[in-house]
Chains A and B, each alone.
Chain A
Amino acid sequence: MVTTEEVDTTRQYEIPEGVLLEFRLAGPLVRASAWAIDAAIRAVLYIVIGLSFSYFGGVGVAIILIALFLIEWFYPVLFEVKSGATPGKKAMGIWVIHDNGTPVTLSASVIRNLLRAVDFMPVMYGFGLLSMLFNREFKRLGDLAAGTLVVYRDNYEERSELPSRTAVRPEVELTESEQQAVLAFAERAPALSSERRVELAEILSEISGHKGERSVDGIYGYANWLMKGH
């Protein structure tokens, strides 16, 4: 059996409290989209600054050039240190963290963004993409040196609740992974379409003896028994 660890692009980190945290890594495509959004924002900034200071002679030109310099090198740093993500990353639901899961600090952010200059080479993030494809954590060169990861923001909203049914003890002894599968199905099923729900539940028809919606209810019953007993 293929486990989720082998298929999913997740990374685990053991925290000092002895438990494992799991991060879902952001791949090249979503990161490129985030970059494109940021590039568009930066282009607008360049135009606005360029137009508004072009009437102020030499001092205006100086301000434009300094602004170009700051935006080119420090636009991502500012946002990453402030909230972990540039506007583009925020829009794509990803952010930058240290390898140990803590919020990215100024020095790590500066390292990863200065080294962007090599990631960008020879054209359009060629080296960065190569680097991302050659390591397990989708790190571009800047991430390797800074010790940072780009991961999906864990947007936890509401916990999905198990539909309440009378607890039914399964007719056969379930192994641990089977128990997990039953619980996972019962908690996820309300979010599935009824056809899909029935299709999945009927896999157990031979054991439960039920068909159609009743087979779904049967599994809810098992799940209630696993969780609550009686």
Chain B
Amino acid sequence: MRQEQFEQAYRPLWDELGALLDEMELSRSKRNPDKARAATFPTLYRQVCSHYALARSRRFSPALLEQLHHLVLRGHRRLYRQRGAWLWRTLDFIGGGFPRALRRHRGYFLLALATFLLPALLLGLACYDDPDMIYSLMDEQQVAEMESMYDPAGSHPGRSEARSSETDFMMFGFYIFNNIGIGFRTFAGGMLLGVGSLFMLLFNGLVLGGVAGHLTRLGYHDTFWSFVSGHGAFELTAIVICGAAGLMLGHALLAPGQQKRIPALKAAAAEALKLVLGAALMLLAAAFVEAFWSSSTLDAAIKYGVAVLLWALVVFYLVFVGRSRHGSL
């Protein structure tokens, strides 16, 4: 069959597929779907695929090949696109997908937790013991600022400005911008063979431990611990989870196992993303608690009580929610 005959025989099909794709590529609001016609799409598309294969093997002209290639390309994009019931998927994710993913990868979580917590404890004890220790981490001005923030004589724990509903909102915005950003960077650092994530965990652990030890030594424990203990349930856990997600990337890059490096990385990134998104939601919750609750000047006992509840909630959520009835994961 010569090219001319081939084209005459099949051009109506190509035009039909082209028209169908034009219709389907419109946005959903402008589309006017004719279900019966849309149902012919897969068959039509596969016919055109085989025409394209024929045209290539018969060495037909480049212009025809290009025309068919373009049709196949558009059809492929349409047929194999993944559509998401995103609202349902988000709810499903919060209601079980996220804690399940975390439990699947608990090894990374424990490693990240150790990287964060051990240096925090060590430096915390050192700073509790030695008043000068904190200066190995921060300069004088930072230390002075931090001390004045949690001074029990001050009226605005955790802030450098007086507390009002105005500053509550402002700090809410700031915590979102700053803390979720830190979470994302902690994850992204995993791409540097895991080193970036480890560094962020270590660094944040050192700062937190150092500050906590130093302030406790000064006797500011009620202002400090009552401020951080509540939102810390979400915030610290989430940062460790972001670090764990980064470690997954690093592990896939360093030791891909039976796979090639890039496919291993892709698989790890898809799983790690679940942890990061879950952690981002936790950081959002943390920002809310930190801005509107942690800075309140209520009695420390109440704040500690709420903190215990929040920690219990986080632990319960991460350990138990989303388990199947058969007890797996």
- B63–A17 touching, CB < 8 Å: no
Using an 8 Å CB-CB cutoff, how does the interface string of B72-90 with A read, 1 for contact, 0 for none? 1100110011101010000
B-side interface residues, number (CB < 8 Å): 61
In the bound complex, residues from chain A placing their C-beta under 8 Å from that of B35 are none
- B73–A154 touching, CB < 8 Å: yes
In the bound complex, residues from chain A placing their C-beta under 8 Å from that of B176 are 65-66, 69
In the bound complex, residues from chain A placing their C-beta under 8 Å from that of B188 are 114-118
Bound CA–CA A106/B277 (angstroms): 12
> Ordered nearest first, which 10 A-B pairs have the shortest CB separation?
A58-B166, A62-B173, A65-B173, A17-B49, A117-B188, A145-B269, A183-B61, A58-B170, A156-B70, A69-B177
Using an 8 Å CB-CB cutoff, how does the interface string of A119-155 with B read, 1 for contact, 0 for none? 0010000000000000000000100111100000010
- Please pick, from A102, A114, A154, the residue contacting B187 in the complex, using a CB distance under 8 A: A114
Q: Most chain-B Cβ atoms within 10 A of its Cβ — which of A15, A110, A118?
A: A118
Q: Is the C-beta of A213 less than 8 angstroms from some C-beta in chain B?
A: no
User: For chains A and B in complex, what number of residue pairs have CB atoms within 8 angstroms?
Assistant: 158
Chain B nearest Cβ from A23, distance in angstroms: 9
* Extra contacts besides A15-B72, A21-B69, A118-B192 (10): CB < 8 Å: A15-B49, A19-B56, A58-B166, A66-B177, A97-B77, A103-B77, A110-B273, A115-B191, A159-B66, A228-B3
Q: Is the C-beta of B135 less than 8 angstroms from some C-beta in chain A?
A: no
Chain A nearest Cβ from B100, distance in angstroms: 16
Q: Most chain-B Cβ atoms within 10 A of its Cβ — which of A17, A63, A121, A226?
A: A17
- A100–B80 touching, CB < 8 Å: yes
A-side interface residues, number (CB < 8 Å): 60
- Answer whether A72 and B181 are a contact pair too, CB < 8 Å, given A101-B77, A159-B63, A161-B63: yes
Q: Is the C-beta of A209 less than 8 angstroms from some C-beta in chain B?
A: no
* Closest residue of A by beta carbon distance from B261: A144
Q: Is the C-beta of B249 less than 8 angstroms from some C-beta in chain A?
A: yes
- Please pick, from A62, A69, A118, A226, the residue contacting B196 in the complex, using a CB distance under 8 A: A118
In the complex, which residues 96-115 of chain A have their Cβ closer than 8 Å to any Cβ of chain B?
97, 100-103, 105-107, 110-111, 114-115
- Please pick, from B76, B167, B181, B192, the residue contacting A102 in the complex, using a CB distance under 8 A: B76
- A110–B72 touching, CB < 8 Å: no
In the bound complex, residues from chain B placing their C-beta under 8 Å from that of A58 are 164-170
In the bound complex, residues from chain B placing their C-beta under 8 Å from that of A208 are none
- A19–B185 touching, CB < 8 Å: no
- Answer whether A19 and B49 are a contact pair too, CB < 8 Å, given A63-B173, A102-B82: yes
In the bound complex, residues from chain A placing their C-beta under 8 Å from that of B49 are 15, 17-19
* Closest residue of A by beta carbon distance from B185: A117
Bound CA–CA A18/B46 (angstroms): 10
Bound CA–CA A105/B82 (angstroms): 7
In the bound complex, residues from chain B placing their C-beta under 8 Å from that of A184 are 61-62
Q: Is the C-beta of A199 less than 8 angstroms from some C-beta in chain B?
A: no
- Please pick, from A57, A100, A145, the residue contacting B191 in the complex, using a CB distance under 8 A: A145
Q: Is the C-beta of B311 less than 8 angstroms from some C-beta in chain A?
A: no
Q: Is the C-beta of B53 less than 8 angstroms from some C-beta in chain A?
A: yes
- Please pick, from B81, B84, B164, B265, the residue contacting A144 in the complex, using a CB distance under 8 A: B265
- A105–B84 touching, CB < 8 Å: yes
- A228–B166 touching, CB < 8 Å: no
Bound CA–CA A162/B173 (angstroms): 63
Q: Is the C-beta of A187 less than 8 angstroms from some C-beta in chain B?
A: yes
- B66–A102 touching, CB < 8 Å: no
